[in-house]
Amino acid sequence: MLQKIFAQGRSSAPQEGTLYKIANVRGQTFELYYGYYDEKERSNPMIEPMPIYPDFLREPQYASDGCAFVTQMQDICQYYIGEGGQMEDRCCADCDYYCHGDELLGVCMCPQRRRTPESQEKQKD
Ligand code: SF4
């Protein structure tokens, strides 16, 4: 009986690979699909597929005005401003430079992190 209830509960769980939402931040769209962040999550039967967000630390993306896209849960960078305390527990959502967009997505308003034509030239060098 319990197995049947469990199976019924699981049937409503989102399927890996299905679209969760198309988020829009500053005119840029991000397709968010259900999935897992790693194999450990996938192999745990207690963890259901969840919306997967881009990893902007690994693959930076920028809005048309040069602001870096960030997620709320992204690890803070060297330019973080905000409350102190346990810095390892902080994330971009805690930073004064964070500007919320859609879902858990936003942009970083820090001028140091903004991509400009000059900063792009420096990267080429
Ligand atoms: S919002 Fe920007 S400045 Fe603040 S911690 Fe995140 S990346 Fe760094």
Place of tokens 């080429």: 124
Pocket of ligand 1 (CB under 6 A): 70, 74, 76-77, 79-80, 92, 95, 97-98, 108, 110, 113
Q: Which of 72, 82, 76 is nearest to 102 (CA)?
A: 72
Average pLDDT over residues 105-109: 98
For residue 21, give the H/E element and its range: strand 19-25
Residue 112 in this model has a pLDDT that exceeds 70: yes
Query: Each residue of 32-79: pLDDT tens digit?
Result: 999 999 999 999 999 999 999 999 999 999 999 999 999 999 999 999
Residue 8 in this model has a pLDDT that exceeds 70: no
56, 74, 100, 110, best to mutate for ligand 1 pocket (most atoms within 8 Å of CB): 110
For residue 22, give the H/E element and its range: strand 19-25
Q: What mean pLDDT, rounded, does the chain reach?
A: 88
Alpha-carbon gap, residue 101 to 96, rounded angstroms: 14
7-16 long-range contacts, CB within 8 A, separation 24+ = 10/48, 13/48, 13/49, 14/48, 14/49, 14/50, 15/49, 16/42, 16/49
Q: Which residue has the higher pLDDT, 26 or 87?
A: 26
